[in-house]
Structure 1
Amino acid sequence: MRKPALLIILFTLLVVSILSSLLVGNFPFSLLIKDFETFWTVLEILRLPRTLLALLTGGMLGLTGAVLQGYLRNPLADAGIIGISSAASFGAVLALSFGISPFLTSFCGVIGTFTLMFFLYVISLKKSDILTLILIGLSFNSLFSALTALTLNLSKNPYKNLEIMFWLLGSFDQQPLENILFTLPFLGVGVVLLWIQRPLLDALSLGEEMAATLGYSLRRSTQMIIVGIALCIGPLTAMGGTIGFVGLIVPHILRHFLKVKPSDLLLPSALGGAFLCLVADIVVRLLPTHTEIKIGVITALLGAPFFLFLILKKKGSSHDSF
């Protein structure tokens, strides 16, 4: 399939999913249209922030997943592999355990992300090879996950722990619009930093040595990619919790429809990730359950079998890259 055709399809699906997200919920649309004031209140306070957060989170997860898979030349990579999600979650959980306001909770998640980003940046000054970055990222991922668990263990409030555990499962609900708008400057800078690395992703598909021969600085690019991913993922994870597998699934699926260079997958992956998160959020609203199922549960149920399939497929292949 040609890239323009795929982009048109993805954009159309995204528009439909956005409109559906704004209209679907506990308040039937047929009742809301009879009272415009109530409709606008529901739209502004409940559905618009939720839709916007799902759109941004899915888009950033898809984009960063495509960047990391191209950069690491590994279809099993996503933002969690370098610990970004775990660091943001730890910062937010620490804030939640002390009862800090939602706005400051998001800010603490950003601080957690920037803390990890600082350590990765310092390490990348000495170690710039890709394998070392993966191993260090996995170590930090385990460390921040352990710190999150330790925070929950030390908490004396079981009700607060239950609230935090539900938050960690991922949700786009109950976030005010101003908190979401607060993330936009971070996301904008992050997207720019990742977008300008597109030529490097294509060069790396030929190997690190070839990329170096073409004049690319792997160390400098590693630092920019780390900063870009942290800016894109950290603030959103601090609000919506950990939502896994989106950055893994979307680029891999689109790669089968679009046989192009790694750089050409960035925009389709962002659109596809946004669409997937919006659809998942609509599904959890429509499911007839006593309590609303968390987004992270839905994406994990879809992503875990897919991840297992990728591992088995990769194990049966003699190639280390795609």
Structure 2
Amino acid sequence: MSDHSWLTEFPDMSRRELLGIRKALDGTYRDFSRAYGDQIEAFFDPLLSFLIWFENLLLHTPWWLILGFISALVYFLSRSWKLSLGVTVSLLAIGYFGMWEDTMRTLSIITVCTFLSIAIGVPIGILMARSNRAQSLITPLLDIMQTMPAFVYLIPVVMLLGIGKIPGLIAVIIYAIPPVIRLTNLGIRLVPQETLEAATAYGATPTQRLFGVQLPLAMPTIMAGINQTIMMALAMVVIASMIGVKGLGQPVLKSITNQYFTLGLLNGLAIVALAIMFDRVSQSYAKRAQRHLGDNQNG
């Protein structure tokens, strides 16, 4: 037998073994989805009900009331009338071109995804900051989540839950949550050790140090993570539309399949407008919070 004969046999053997492993994994996941799919769907029913309620609230509330509320909220967070005026003009343009309802649908799911990402991601980031072991275990998972192609997230979620709002929401959160986790961890770890030692000397408990010292000082970094999470969630909107998530993504997908250039361009610009609004408002709020924190420290 030639010295290199194993080179021709090995690929066939490895392919057969790989095919057997893939079939076993596929069968296991199918059995799991059949056995526990209904229970998992029932677990997400309250979230689905809230999503439907929030979307209907935005759709059925008069447009001028939503416009006024958003403009006032932007001014409250940023203290910039120029930014508030820019948001108002952008939303008026969106309504003028007939994209108001799709924009409200997108706004509803992005808002819920962002708050869920913060609620899940910040505690995980705190855990990573307080435990090197947790950081070593969670960091590879975040690396996988950030490098995995976005379409891949849809496969297990759709197989388990079908198509609709909840699968889309889960896929968006998985795709968008890594930045807020990473930057929460980074922000807390960057708090000067001398500051923590001073807080300890004054008798602060670990919980008091966390909420009174570490989180306030880390807030600019955490806000940067929240900003990136919002941007990634908006980037996932078009892909999530493939599994039934209504909003600005579906007209873009329709324009791709039917070559409607103007439809895709306008809805794409509406997504860009939302992204810029979220980005500018979150950055302005972070800068204002940082200035307020600096004034308190100087005082």
Give the TM-score normalised by structure 1.
Answer: 0.30
Higher helix share: 2
Higher relative contact order (CA 8 A, sep 6+): 1
Task: Tell which structure's C-alpha radius of gyration is larger.
Answer: 2
